[in-house]
Structure 1
């Protein structure tokens, strides 16, 4: 009968050899083929999964997705654009997504941070990423595919891929129905919509291509009045506003010192457009309309109804 090794008296090479022999049965599945590959991947995935037990979300759509997945118990804070659902408002507010203070985020002691692309400023993000807190950036986008990608990214980061898949199927079906309904309107009947972000010193800041406003206008069966002349948000000359010939002016419903409907419609350039002459102006909820999250299908249907209604006129 062989004697057991006495580690107190064993020489170093004997200890190393014994430990290697003991470890071999455990290591074998990770080096062998067949099912070993599956086991290896599963363990690697487990090792890479971030601790998301104390999560901060930056971006209203991401916060909505976390709630839609039923994972809201992980949340310890959110940014100021995360105002839906109502329960989210009870969480600490770490500031506006584009003007974050790293100290404010770190103060809530998060184990992970989810931020939508475009959050900032860059130096604040650099501090957060260097703090050793798992940080995931979720790509932004303004179409059906982008919304489903957000859901997938959040679900993967939280380790709830099955829940995310189910939510993608639900949201995807809702989007398909809303988009198909809006698309029934003939091109010749589609209204030209000028989205105004702000009016400062008489200059109109409007939405061009590759913006959330441009995306939702198109999905709702209308035309962005700027016709893709530029990307992003830019100030327009009076001549550009007149040439855009908007049928409808759309602005966001926000608290603060926004220009009133009367002030916008009285603008010299707007007053001579079809929208100005017909006093066609819409105020919409910004997070719902431009968030491109789980509720976008209802935003598409709601905007389509506001634009056209039963009579074909903007609802007042």
Structure 2
């Protein structure tokens, strides 16, 4: 939900400039394309905003908590894993495979639907039943996170909390940006291979236009794989040819297996510079790829770990 820049726009303009510089700067590699929002929102009921909110998207759940409006959230989806209190709310299933009947049975007066929420026909059915649906779009940038914070605050009718959270996010982001530039701005950018799936027989790796690619650029690293968008399977030959310095992967919740051991057992990965040196870095998936309010901390942590590795 975009609005014209007003008196509050100075911080936003600064964020936009620095965010663009990070994504497009020479030492940070390629640009990160950001889709423009296309959000349509019916008016929420009641003077003080919606009281029964359902959220489909882990990053949106984090924003609701950051705004201090968690008492309005009656349910969320299976990707809503932070903060811990969010995991104890009723679940509407996985955000890509929502059920209109399941959501409507909760009698919500607002659905916050993340970019991956769907299927689209289910969201349309929910809206047709009279439930306002706030839809968000893809975008892997600090500017998009700031837009989402303000959009959620507007939908919940808590503008002052939106200003507070947006200001804090902006300050944290500028601080993280400056720290990364000062520490690693002239350093060699490590080649990092991001691996999405590291179980079973198929390893999926990230190309351009992915959250992982954007995070690596912000952290002053470079994606070891180029020439494609999205995710694709990795062959042993491609892994060796990529010559990564670091292997990066994610976990979701407690895992009984060691990500490093699992990755290095995959064909080809053990024969890379990262594999021979056992340089494997792992993060919680929502923290690393969620592009929520914790983005500044996640980028700073990623930079420290991949450069140290």
TM-score range relative to shorter protein: 0.7 to 0.9
Equivalent in the alignment of 2:164: 166
- Secondary structure of the structure 2 residue equivalent to 1:189: coil
Counterpart residue number, 1:215 = 214
TM-score normalised over the length of structure 2: 0.79
1:97 is aligned, of 95, 98, 102, to: 95
Q: CA deviation at 1:265?
A: 1.0
Relative to structure 1, the CA distance from residue 244 to residue 132 in structure 2 (aligned partners, 3 Å threshold; closer, same or farther) is: same
Matches within 5 A, 1:201-240: 202-227=201-226, 229-240=227-238
CA offset digits 1:54-113 (Å, max 9, x no partner): 000111111111111111111110111111112212210111111212222112111110
Deviation at 1:279, TM superposition (A): 0.8
Asked if residue 286 in structure 1 is aligned to residue 285 in structure 2, the reply is yes
Tell me the TM-score normalised to structure 1 length: 0.77
Q: Does 1:277 align with 2:276?
A: yes
CA shift, 1:299, in A, is 0.7
How large is the RMSD of aligned CA atoms in angstroms? 2.0
Matches of 1:84 and 1:129 in 2, distance apart?
A: 27
Q: Paired residue for 2:73, among 69, 75, 88?
A: 75
The CA deviation at 1:266 is 2.9
CA offset digits 1:207-233 (Å, max 9, x no partner): 111111111111122111113x11111
Cα gap change, 1:139 to 1:50, in 2 (>3 Å): farther
Partner Cα separation in structure 1 for residue 136 and residue 214 of structure 2: 18
- Find the residue that maps to 1:95 and give its secondary structure: coil
Segments of 5+ residues of structure 2 without an aligned counterpart are 1-41
Distance apart, 1:260 and its partner CA: 4.4
* Corresponding position: 1:48 with 2:46: no
SS at match of 2:96: coil
Give the structure 1 partner of residue 149 of structure 2: 151
CA displacement 1:102-128 (0-9 Å, x = unmatched)? 222112111110011121122322322
| 1:63 matched to 2:58 | no
Report SS of the residue matched to 1:114. Answer: strand
CA distance in 1, matches of 2:43, 2:163: 20
* In 2: Cα distance, 1:240 partner to 1:183 partner: 31
Count of aligned positions: 263
CA distance in 2, matches of 1:212, 1:50: 34
CA contact (8 A) 1:99 1:120 kept: yes
Cα shift readout 1:131-185 (whole Å, capped 9, x = no counterpart): 2110010223211101101101101111122221221111011011112222331
2:85 & 2:262 partners in 1: Cα distance?
Answer: 35
Whether 1:176 aligns to 2:171 is no
| Cα distance, 1:307 vs structure 2 | 1.7
Match of 1:261 in 2: 260
Partner residue in 1 for 2:84: 86
Q: Please give the per-residue CA displacement for 1:249-271, whole angstroms capped at 9, x wherever unaligned.
A: 11112356978422321333212
Partner of 1:295: 294
Name the stretch that deviates more: 167-176 or 248-257.
248-257
**Which of 136, 139, 142 matches 2:140?**
142
Structure 1: distance between partners of 2:298 and 2:257: 22
User: Is the 1:198–1:258 Cα contact (8 Å) retained in structure 2?
Assistant: no
CA contact (8 A) 1:199 1:259 kept: no
SS at match of 2:196: strand
Q: Does the aligned pair in 1 maintain the 2:44–2:109 contact within 8 Å? A: no
